[in-house]
Amino acid sequence: MRLHVVAELGLSPGDKPSPTTAAVSSFVTFGVGALIPLLPYLFGAAVLWPALLCGGLGLVVAGALSSTFTPRPWWYAGARQLLFGAAAAGITYLIGSAIGVAVA
């Protein structure tokens, strides 16, 4: 296992990750990811579909970028990320509808 980590990933098992770097990179990537679906509203859109399109495109790009760390093709990783994101959005919508939350 140690040889695999060093040879294929280029990581040293003795190196300890920096918690500060992990926290800052997580904050930045989460913030950018949250901003992508809001872009149409920042430019004056008043309907939902542009935000859904931007969010879906962002999910596909994020999935495709993650494929550089896996043996899967970019389109598979992008479609998988889009599927999970759509499922999360759909479940959130259904829960909101079930408890009577409405956007006016």
Give residue 70's pLDDT: 86
d(CA 77, CA 75): 6
Give residue 48's pLDDT: 87
- Quick count: other Cβ atoms within 10 Å of Cβ 41? 14
Chain centre to alpha carbon of residue 6 = 28
Looking at residue 71, the DSSP 8-state letter turns out to be S
What are the tens digits of pLDDT across the range 9-50? 777 777 777 889 989 999 999 999 899 999 999 999 889 899
d(CA 93, CA 98): 9
Provide the whole-model pTM. 0.72
Parse the chain into domains and list their residue ranges. 2-98
Say if residue 4's pLDDT is above 90. no
Task: Give the whole-number percent of the chain exceeding pLDDT 70.
Answer: 98
